[in-house]
Amino acid sequence: MARSLIGAVVAVTGGGRGIGAATAAALARAGAKVALGDIDLAAAEQTANRIGSGAIALPLDVSESRGFTEFLDDVEQRLGPIDALVNNAGIMPLHRIEDEADAMTARILAINLHAVIHGSREAVRRMKSRGMGHIVNVASVAAKIPFPGGATYAATKSGVFGFSEAIRAELNGSGIEVSCVLPGFVRTDLAAGLKEVKGFKPIAADDVASAIVDVLRCPRFEVFVPRHVGPTLRFGTLAGRRFGEWLQRVLKAESPMLDAVDSPERAAYEKRAAGGGAP
């Protein structure tokens, strides 16, 4: 039976815009009590005000572990014990690997991977004694199809998938569910300047939000958005690496990130992702 989200306390990281904002809104419509954490507090507050339904906005820089812990403490003090954590915050700067500064590499790892590990660990510590809870980690199809131009990004999303799979096994029987959501190209700032790939039409943030709400209601581990991507990737795996590489070339799927590296359409996003504003 589908689980009710009415009254459930859900914390969403990166809730100020994009997938996080859409997810927070969808959760509120489902009756959940939602806390939006974002480094851009003004954006989070605007989103919370737009959502209504008692949604709250709190400052959160996921790259600072102590601050992340304090964010979760604050959520629990204001809304009650956390029933679900959606680790959504992430950045996708694009570089050829020889041009990527070490500081940028560290920043991508800190936000996209270490923060997911830390947030999940904190959630488990809070949920385990209650024998219930759900952790949803947002990865990407890049975890399965690593595109040139986003090597470090792909590494972090592969790490999120592997980490999620491992803790799911650890938590078997504990009452804590773990899910990993793998969206394709989503029409948010992260995808600014990226050309469309045949078979991978850009999707809306609302599509990902709906998938997250669905998996909280009916828990399962691996969730592709759109759904047809999963079977496509499994077929490619069975067909072998050479077939997969040939298919990438035919679809011209190996180049969208590289082509967007120097795109002026990405300038504003790249500045924010580098720390020149909230990602």
Q: Provide the annotated active-site residues.
A: 153
Residue 226 to residue 207: CA distance in whole angstroms: 8
Question: Per the omega criterion (within 30 degrees of 0), is the bond before 226 cis?
Answer: yes
Phi-psi region of 53 (alpha: psi -120 to 50; beta: other; left: phi over 0): left
- Residue 19 · residue 206 · CB < 8 Å: no
Buried b / exposed e over 220-234, threshold 16 CB at 10 Å, is eebbbbbeebbebbe
Pairing state of beta strands 33-38 and 56-59? parallel
- Rounded to the nearest 10 degrees, the angle between the axes of helix 151-170 and helix 115-127 is 20
The residues that bridge with 242 in the sheet, in sequence order, are none
